[in-house]
């Protein structure tokens, strides 16, 4: 992983000395952080994997790039989310979905902060340009409609199995 990336927190509270992702990217053009959340599984693992995000203009963002964007929130506070671009609308908005999600969202170009350019797992870099990564994107990310159906089925199956198990006691 590139050692020149500026480490920061995702907190956008303005308290303490931590920079928000947006501030850090504006300052250095590159940030590194350890991922929190499961929305990008199976590729990215919560608490174990670190990513490098590099600032990019909306014109440079391509289909299947994993991008960091700011999801607007209540009272001007939002959250930062790392998800994958599956499509771009004619009006410039991106259709963005987590690799482990069953729905997506439209994101305005001005809310996209940068693109994931490196992934580190256990001190070792994971290649984002090799054949294994391309196969992952083609087999898991590209057929997203099929993936949505599969994940919804698995969720329903787990809920049903849990219901049956609880009621057989």
Q: How far is CA 40 from CA 27, 35, 49, 69, 123, in A?
A: 26, 9, 11, 14, 19
Q: Into which CATH architecture does domain 6-142 fall?
A: Ribbon (2.10)
**In the block, which residue shows the tokens 């729905």?**
103
Cα 120 from Cα 97, distance rounded (Å)? 21
pLDDT of residue 150: 86
Q: Where in the chain are the domains?
A: 6-142
The reported pTM is 0.80
Mean pLDDT, rounded, for 142-165:
88
Could you give the percent of the chain with pLDDT greater than 70?
86
* CB-CB contact of 95 with 64 (8 Å): no
12 confidence band (pLDDT: 50, 70, 90): very low
Are 10 and 80 in contact by the 8 Å Cβ rule? The answer is yes
Q: Which residues are CB-contacts of 71 (< 8 A; sequence separation ≥ 6)?
A: 78, 79, 80, 81, 105, 107, 111
Note the pLDDT tens digit of each residue in 63-91: 999 999 999 876 666 789 999 999 999 99
């Amino acid at each position: 992983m590139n050692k020149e990336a500026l480490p920061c927190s995702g907190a956008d509270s303005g308290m303490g000395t931590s920079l928000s992702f947006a501030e850090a990217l504006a300052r250095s053009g590159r940030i590194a952080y350890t991922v929190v959340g499961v929305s990008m599984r199976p590729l990215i693992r919560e608490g174990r994997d670190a990513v490098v995000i590099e600032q990019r203009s909306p014109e440079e963002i391509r289909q299947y790039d994993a991008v960091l964007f700011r999801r607007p929130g209540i009272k001007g506070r939002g959250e930062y989310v790392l998800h994958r671009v599956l499509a771009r609308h004619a009006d410039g908005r991106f259709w963005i979905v987590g690799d482990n999600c069953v729905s997506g969202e439209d994101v305005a170009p001005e809310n996209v902060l940068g693109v994931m350019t490196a992934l580190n797992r256990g001190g070792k870099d994971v290649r984002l340009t090799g054949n294994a990564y391309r196969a992952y994107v083609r087999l898991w990310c590209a057929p997203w409609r099929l993936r949505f159906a599969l994940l919804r089925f698995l969720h329903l199956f787990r809920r049903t199995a849990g219901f049956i198990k609880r009621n057989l006691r």
